Amino acid sequence: MEDTLNDASSLAIELAPARQRRPMLEIAGLCKSFGALEVLRDVSVVVSPGEVVVVIGPSGSGKTTLLRCINLLEEYERGTIAVDGEPIGYRTDGRSGRRARMSEREIARARERIGMVFQSFNLFPHMNVLQNIVAAPVRVRRIERRQAEARARELLAMVGLSDKVAEYPIRLSGGQQQRVAIARALAMDPKIMLFDEVTSALDPELVGEVLAAMQQLAGDGMTMVVVTHEMSFARDIADRILFIDGGVIVEEGKPDQLLFAPQTERVGAFLKRYNDRYRI
Amino acid sequence: MPFDPHFIARLIPALLEGAKVTVELAALTMAICLVWGLLVALAHSTRGLLGSIAGGYIQLVRNTPLLIQLYVVYFGFSMAGFGLSGFASGLLALCAQNGGYVAEIYRGGLQSVSIRQFEAGRALGMRRRTLYTTVILPQVIARVIPPLTNQSISIIKDTSQVAAIAVMEIMKITEVWVETSANTYDVFLGAALIYLALTSIAGLVGKLAERSLAFAQ
Amino acid sequence: MKELGPLIHSFWYLLRGAGMTVLMATSAVVPATLLGVLLALLHVFGGWLLRSAILGYLFLIRGIPLLVLLTFVYYLMPLTGIDLPPFWGVVLVISLYYAAFVSEVFRAGILSLPQAQWDAARSLGMTRRLMLQIVVLPQALRLSAPPYVSLCVSLVKATSLVSIVGLWELTMAPFQIFIGAAAIYFCICYTLALYGRHLERRVLLGH
């Protein structure tokens, strides 16, 4: 058993060295302002395939905006973003440095391979669970309906909601809705998943089931960028943690290092306040 | 011949005379309905016979056309022996119908104030009168101004139907002038412009009222 | 027994009137709705030129009484030589008039949809057309349904104006005709109003 595993992994390394080394997400020099307010200042992040990056920081620090810029739900003034080597949102002319916005069609196409889960679930209330999950695969990626439904059932089983296939969102609890939202995003077979404070709107007892689903996803090797307040979850799931404040990445590092031995004072103060109340 | 200046010179004063009647009718209706609508709304909020009668009245006037109500009032009274003038019949019918609408506006305004406002006031120990005058009423007033503005615009337009019983407001005068001259376009254009002016003024007054009586909701 | 004659005559007259009311209202509602929905979409998603044109149109409709427009068309028709039966002329004017109100109601429905629904649809890679088709419009229609039914009630009542324009002679009619007409209108409109309230309750529950 061990031999075959080793063989498989070394084979994988030999076969696709380039793909392994190419970052899944590259953000360079991102700048965004809301009017006069500078929300993101020259932010750069690189995320490798299969890596789980957690973004933490105080309210208004720009972490949600950062996430929303990745799939261009927010426009930004400067910087480049590329997913799996392909630019998204804007193309920058190498020579002149000027950038051109990609067409709506190109942007929509790019968004297909980026999955996003929102704080307020955002399920479509006029469709039941199954319809919510298959709507995009069938209508956007033109996958055959039967195939899409089979996949949907697989995903629902994975998040533990097989029995809710025909329910309408209004009949589900917050935690259940959020898990359906995760399944919906996964149904598009994304290369990377973005999570925007997905447990903040949930009652405490419902948080666990969502975090468990995310853990499983991470274990399966999905590249994830997670914005969250849940520090203990951050420690459990993150390969790397980024601390953002005032639109700048103040510090980044491995969980045990950043959370327990932060190098900057701002991070220390933030964590101390958190620790006093919750204990990581 | 359109845009005959002599014709227009004679037309404008005539239309303005009609506008006077229109404004009188609309303003009186609005003033009366503000009070009458309140009474109907209060009656509607009670349980028992009075509430049912008020409810029935509201449904009746909302679901029958103004024109029919006009005819019923005008011919009805004349049949019964107390002939009412066209203006009086028009006023009565307009108030009857719009009283129902205004009552519903008041009801909607009150309902839209969150129940938490009541709870907060009571928790602070306010008694009924204080609660209503200092907390609830200001909010209700703020909320009813936009729909009341719309209603007043609607009233101005509805006065045109009073032409059916020969009241010399804008529409009737338009009709008369169209029948007796060849300048159809000019007459209608004039009438349209005056109505647009009146309704726009009403809208502006409403906006002003909103700004001074309402506050950030 | 002698009384019965005029009464039956009145009844028959009323029945024809009711038939005309229903026919006129249903004929006008369809184009008014279709045009209204189109105008709403153009108003929300169109360029500034289109939006300005629509705003101008809405301003005119909002400020001019329907009766003025009806009478205008009634006197205009013979002059322009367009051979349109008066019935359909009225239907046309009423449709154009109510299309404006329908468009405002529907536009409000679209705009009241939470931004979050747009975000979710976009994040799944839907193009604007697909988004509108399966996420925005179905929900906007459901949200707009109750005020739309109120508009339908208004439209039905507006058909009474034809008596002024001369299509249905009411002024010479005996008094019981008015009461009868009122009763017919009331039945139609009250039923619609009840349906509207039912829809309102359903909308409140579903969202």
CB-CB neighbours of B209 under 10 Å: 15
Residue of C nearest to A126 (CA): C139
CB contact under 8 A, B175 and C190: no
Selection from A87, A83, A113 nearest residue A100 by Cα: A87
Q: Which residues of chain B neighbour C60 with C-beta distances below 8 Å?
A: 192, 196
Q: Is A171 helix (H, G, I), strand (E, B) or coil?
A: helix
What confidence tier does A257 reach under pLDDT thresholds 50, 70, 90? confident
The structure's pTM equals 0.83
Q: Which domain holds residue C131?
A: 2-206
Are A72 and A88 spatial neighbours (Cβ–Cβ below 8 Å)? yes
Q: Which residue has the higher pLDDT, C205 or A263?
A: A263
Residue B125, helix vs strand vs coil:
coil
Nearest to C119 among A105, A118, A184 (CB): A118
pLDDT value of residue A4: 47
What residues does A241 pair with on adjacent strands? Answer: A54, A253
Cβ atoms within 10 Å, residue B119:
10
Can you give the pLDDT at residue A18? Answer: 47
A188 to chain C: closest CA residue: C124
Taking only the tens of pLDDT, chain B with its 217 residues reads 566 777 878 888 888 989 999 999 999 999 999 999 999 999 998 888 999 999 999 999 999 999 999 988 988 888 888 888 889 999 999 999 999 999 999 999 888 887 888 888 888 878 888 788 877 888 888 889 999 999 999 999 999 999 888 888 898 888 888 888 877 888 888 899 999 999 999 999 999 988 887 665 5
Of C116, C138, C205, the CB nearest to A126: C138
Q: A183 to chain C, minimum CA–CA distance in Å?
A: 12
pLDDT on residue A1: 43
How far is residue A163's CA from residue B126's CA, in Å, rounded to a whole number?
51
Give me the pLDDT at residue A25, please: 93
Quick one: three-class SS letters along A97-130?
A: CCEEECCHHHHHHHHHCEEEECCCCCCCCCCCHH
Please state which CATH number belongs to domain B5-216. 1.10.3720.10
Work out the average pLDDT over A224-246.
89
Place of tokens 């190109």: A106
- CB–CB contact A108 C138 (8 Å): no
Q: Please name every residue paired with A31 in a beta bridge, in sequence order, or none if there are none.
A: A78
Res. A89 pLDDT band, cuts 50 70 90: confident
Q: Do C175 and B191 touch (CB under 8 A)?
A: no
Q: Give the model confidence (pLDDT) of A180-200 as tens digits.
A: 999 999 999 999 999 999 988
* Angstrom distance (rounded) from CA C184 to CA A252: 75
Residues of C in contact with A140 (CB under 8 A): 124-127, 130
Name the nearest CA neighbour of A63 among A77, A45, A88: A45
- Residues of C whose CB is below 8 A from B67: 160-161, 163-164
pLDDT band at A2 (very low <50, low <70, confident <90, very high): very low
All structural domains of chain B with their residue ranges:
5-216
Q: Where are the alpha helices (DSSP H) in chain B?
A: 5-45, 49-62, 66-80, 86-111, 115-123, 128-130, 137-158, 170-180, 184-213
The contact set of C with A (CB < 8 A) is 116-117, 119-128, 130, 134-135, 138-139, 142, 205-207
Residue among A111, A30, A115 at smallest CA distance from A76: A30
Q: What's the number of domains chain C is made of? A: 1
Name which of A110, A126, A140 is nearest C130 (Cβ-Cβ). Answer: A140
- Token look-up 């006023």 returns B91
| Token couple for A206 | 């419902």
**A220-237 mean pLDDT:** 89
Those residues with Cβ within 8 angstroms of residue A168's Cβ, 6 or more apart along the chain or in another chain: A125, A127, A128, A129
Q: What are phi and psi of C103, to 5 degrees?
A: -65, -40
Contacts of B75 in chain C (CB under 8 A): 175, 178
Residue of chain B with shortest Cα separation from C72: B188
Half-sphere exposure of A152 toward its Cβ, with a 13 Å CA cutoff? 25
Distance, in Å, from the CA atom of B174 to the CA atom of B154, rounded to the nearest integer, reads 19
Interface of A with C in 216-275 (CB under 8 A): none
Nearest CB partner across the interface for B178, out of C59, C65, C75:
C75
- pLDDT of the residue at C170: 57
Q: Which residues of A touch C205 (CB under 8 A)?
A: 170
Flag if A185 and C128 touch (Cβ within 8 Å).
Answer: no
pLDDT in the model for residue A20: 56
- C119 contacts on A by Cβ (under 8 Å): 73, 116, 118, 122
Ramachandran assignment for C166, one of left (phi > 0), alpha (psi -120 to 50 degrees), beta (any other): left
Shortest CA gap B129–chain C (Å): 32
* Maximum Cα–Cα distance across chain C: 77
Phi, psi for A143 (deg, rounded to 5): -75, 145
Name the closest residue on chain B to residue C161, using Cα atoms: B67
Task: Count how many pairs of residues, chain B against chain C, have C-beta atoms within 8 Å.
Answer: 101
3-state secondary structure of A38: strand
Cα–Cα distance, B63 to C102 (Å, whole number): 19
Q: Quick: pLDDT tens for B27-74.
A: 999 999 999 999 999 999 888 899 999 999 999 999 999 999 998 898
Among residues A61, A46, A53, which one has the least CA distance to residue A226?
Answer: A53
A3: pLDDT strictly greater than 70:
no
| Per-residue pLDDT, B142 | 85
A99 band by pLDDT with thresholds 50, 70 and 90: confident
Facing residue for A108 by CB, picked from C127, C135, C138: C127
Q: Which helix (H) or strand (E) holds A40?
A: strand A37-47
Q: Are strands A223-227 and A52-56 parallel, antiparallel or unpaired?
A: parallel
Taking a contact as any Cβ pair under 8 Å apart, which residues of chain A between 49 and 108 contact chain C? Answer: 71, 73, 104-105, 108
- CA C47 → CA A224, A260, B138, B158, C39, distances in Å? 38, 54, 40, 34, 12
On chain C, the residues whose CB falls within 8 A of the CB of B65 are 157-161, 185
Mean model confidence pLDDT for chain A: 86
Q: What is the mean pLDDT of each run of 10 residues along chain C (207 residues)?
A: 61 79 92 95 93 96 93 78 78 95 95 92 92 92 92 92 70 71 89 90 71
Candidates A22, A67, A74, A72; CA nearest to A43 is: A67
Collapsing DSSP to helix, strand or coil, A184 comes out as helix
Closest residue to C170, CB basis, from B71, B175, B184: B71
Parallel, antiparallel or unpaired: strands A52-56 and A240-245: parallel
pLDDT of residue A59: 83
Could you please report the per-residue DSSP string of A52-87? EEEEE--TTSSHHHHHHHHTTSS--SEEEEEETTEE
Q: In Å, how far is B161's CA from the nearest CA of chain C?
A: 7
Among the partner-chain residues A104, A118, A125, the one whose CB lies closest to the CB of C127 is A104
The CATH number of the domain holding residue C43 is: 1.10.3720.10
Cβ-based contacts of A189 with chain C (< 8 Å)? none
Asked if the Cβ–Cβ distance from C63 to B196 is below 8 Å, we say yes
A116-167 pLDDT per residue, tens: 999 988 899 989 999 999 999 999 999 999 999 999 999 999 999 999 999 9
Give the ipTM of the model, two decimals please: 0.87
With beta carbons less than 8 A apart as the criterion, state whether C11 and C180 touch. Answer: yes
Cα-based torsion angle of the residue sequence B91, B94, B100, B104 in order, rounded to the nearest 10 degrees: -110
User: Nearest Cβ partner of C122 from A73, A120, A185?
Assistant: A73
pLDDT of residue B216: 54
